[in-house]
């Protein structure tokens, strides 16, 4: 019998995205197809969840997402919770530019960011606002109460492509 470490289960609510660059030449809007993911490390079968969002966007605008990523199990001791966004800009004139959004990582001592509104600050193409809640408090009908106050999410200054793989890849 394997001795499993105790886990905490979280869900991440993605409130909105802040577009830096829509990747569309000229005044037309870009067509973003984004995946938001949450992952616990070390990774286990229940340690990753994702949600997709699509929309026509313009640079320097904010767009509502209003979706939950789904439940993610994080080891209670020495675990980390990472939240990230990435995807493709679909444009008939191009083959689809890769999009990299913000990436945040919370450790045990940061209480996994629970209960506060966070905004990523390290996205190349977009950043996003989110809230981490215990999984039992989340549902489609129950959205976290918007406090109007956001905090800069902890994470690397310029996340490399490998930082996104464990969170956004299948």
Dihedral angle computed from the Cα positions of residues 18, 123, 103 and 56, in that order, rounded to the nearest 10 degrees: 40
Mean pLDDT of 64-72: 92
pLDDT of residue 151: 95
Residues 6 or more apart in contact with residue 144 via CB below 8 angstroms: 13, 115, 117, 131, 133
Q: What is the pLDDT of residues 75-129, one digit of tens each?
A: 888 888 999 999 998 876 666 788 999 999 998 777 777 889 999 999 999 999 9
Q: What is the DSSP string of 53-92?
A: EEEEE-TT-EEEEEEE---EEEETTT-EEEEEEEEEE--T
pLDDT of residue 8: 83
Q: Minimum mean pLDDT among 7-21, 49-63, 88-102, 135-149: which range?
A: 135-149
Q: What is the pLDDT of residues 125-167, one digit of tens each?
A: 999 999 999 887 666 567 888 888 999 999 999 999 888 988 8
Mean pLDDT of 25-29: 76
Q: What is the CATH number of domain 7-168?
A: 2.60.40
Q: How do the domains of the chain map onto residue ranges?
A: 7-168
Q: What one-character DSSP code corresponds to residue 45? A: T
Judge whether residue 5 has pLDDT over 70.
Answer: no
pLDDT of residue 33: 94
Q: Evaluate whether 145 touches 117 at the Cβ level (below 8 Å).
A: no
Q: pTM for the full model? A: 0.89
Judge whether residue 2 has pLDDT over 60.
Answer: no
């Amino acid at each position: 019998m394997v001795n499993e470490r105790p886990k905490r289960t979280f869900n991440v609510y993605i409130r909105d995205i802040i577009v830096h660059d829509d990747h569309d030449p000229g005044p037309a809007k870009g067509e973003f197809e984004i995946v938001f993911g949450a992952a616990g490390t070390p990774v286990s079968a229940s340690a990753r969840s994702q949600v997709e969002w699509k929309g026509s966007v313009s640079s320097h605008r904010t767009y509502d997402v209003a979706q939950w990523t789904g439940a993610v199990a994080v080891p209670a001791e020495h675990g980390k919770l990472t939240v990230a966004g990435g995807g493709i800009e679909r444009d008939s004139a191009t083959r689809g530019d890769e999009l990299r959004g913000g990436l945040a990582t919370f450790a045990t001592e940061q209480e996994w960011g629970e209960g506060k509104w966070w905004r990523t600050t390290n996205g190349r193409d977009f950043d996003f606002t989110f809230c981490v809640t215990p999984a039992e408090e989340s549902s489609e009908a129950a959205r976290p109460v918007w406090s109007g106050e956001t905090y800069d999410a902890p994470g690397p200054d310029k996340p490399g492509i490998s930082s996104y793989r464990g969170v956004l890849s299948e």
